Amino acid sequence: NMPPLELCYNLSDFEYVAKQVMKRTAWGYYSSGADDEITMRENRTAFHKIWFKPKVLVDVENIDMSCTMLGSKSSIPFYITATALGKLGHPDGECCLTKAAARHGLIQMIPTLASCSFDEIVDAADGKQTQWFQLYVNKDRQITERIVKHAESRGMKGLFITVDAPQLGRREKDMRSKYAEDDTAVQKEGDTTTIDRSQGAARAISSFIDPSLSWKDIPFFQNITKMPIILKGVQRVDDVIKAVEHGVTGVVLSNHGGRQLDTAPTGIELLADVMAELRARNWQDKIEVYIDGGVRRASDVVKAVCLGAKGVGIGRPFLYAMSAYGVEGVCRAIQLLKDEFEMNMRLIGARNVSELTPDMVDAKGLAYH
Ligand code: FNR
């Protein structure tokens, strides 16, 4: 008794359906946030504090939503961000997301902890689409080096090093649902033979991550790859400044979908502050700033771009669409966002992404501003 796909009119509808049809363990892993889930909720509500300042009588007959992120074209300024364990939701796992991204001209970020192998996901691509790679840094740097070089050799256009997870957060819904061995096919990554499954999926798969990773390690990555390096999970203005000083190409202002430090700031709130600081230094062209977390409407994407984001990552909604309806579900979710985006552009009086400027929004309601 699945509702037909056509009855999903927005991303929340996919979440509703997914909750009904997904296995409890999968739902627990995908939907959970850390601790009291305060940051996870705030990720959503922070967008509601920003209001548009629409321009009227702009000729908005033709709308161009395309943009460039890390030098690659995208049909619209959002991307499918890295989320682990795709096969918990769908037997084809991350390859569903790859195929949907290809059809819609979107960029996909491939997670280190994908259920499909990295090569399967690259092979599922159409040869023209852009993919990025998300890296969890292994304690064994030789493994990391091999993974990074392989990612580059397979054409990845960006290396997103996750920096907000020296230890995985406590996601209690996930812990309660007791991740079982047969629930997933995670790639062998470091020592998976001794993993403790009593703490939920997240903890079970993450024991290889190096908690000693620090700013001193950035040159190591710059030496082993020519891919642009982006730090994913930056949560303070001065860390963005450090990122510029370390010569990385970008940052993702992110709290990992509220799954790491509870009461960490939201990406969208931080963005306003970060851009103010970068503009004050005239550094806004020195680094590409992305955000993710809680994006559920194209208006959220529009707001982020107005405030200075090059693009926005979306995680759970695509997992839910995939889990409920496979590739077709993800395609519909993307199409709904595209339709919303186009409508929003028309209604605020912006014809292309470069016309999405800070004066199009009133962000005074943001806590950080
Ligand atoms: C994630 N995220 C994540 N990030 C990362 O760097 N490596 C990873 O393996 C994962 N895995 C993962 C699994 C699941 C189920 C979720 C929901 C999230 C975080 C992800 O990249 C992104 O920061 C958030 O998902 C963005 O928030 P929304 O869009 O889910 O609200």
| Secondary structure (3-state) at 261 | coil
**β-pairing verdict for 67-69 and 72-74:** antiparallel
Active site residue 119: no
- Atom 12 of ligand 1, residue of closest alpha carbon: 83
Is there a contact between 77 and 69 (Cβ–Cβ < 8 Å)? yes
Locate 301 and state its tokens: 């994407």
Active-site pick, 13, 179, 256, 325:
256
Is there a contact between 102 and 80 (Cβ–Cβ < 8 Å)? no
Distance in Å, CA 349 to ligand 1 centroid? 32
ipTM value > 0.90: yes
CB of 292 within 6 A of ligand 1: the answer is yes
Active site residue 164: yes
**β-pairing verdict for 131-135 and 72-74:** unpaired
Taking CA 359 as the corner, what is the angle to CA 44 and CA 252, rounded to the nearest 5 degrees? 45
Mutate to test the pocket of ligand 1, among 81, 85, 251, 290 (most ligand atoms within 8 A of CB): 81
3-state secondary structure 188-229: CCCCCCCCCHHHCHHHHHCCCECCCCCHHHHHHHHHHCCCCE
Q: What is the mean pLDDT of the chain?
A: 93
CB of 260 within 6 A of ligand 1: the answer is no
Active-site pick, 29, 30, 79, 136:
136
Nearest to 368 by CA among 226, 273, 229, 250: 273
279-320 pLDDT per residue, tens: 999 999 999 999 999 999 999 999 999 999 999 999 999 999
Cα–Cα distance, 316 to 323 (Å, whole number):
10
7-48 pLDDT per residue, tens: 999 999 999 999 999 999 999 999 999 999 999 999 999 999
- Atom 10 of ligand 1, residue of closest alpha carbon: 83
Active site residue 368: no
pTM reported for the whole predicted model:
0.95
Is there a contact between 192 and 205 (Cβ–Cβ < 8 Å)? yes
Is the pLDDT at 199 greater than 70? The verdict is no
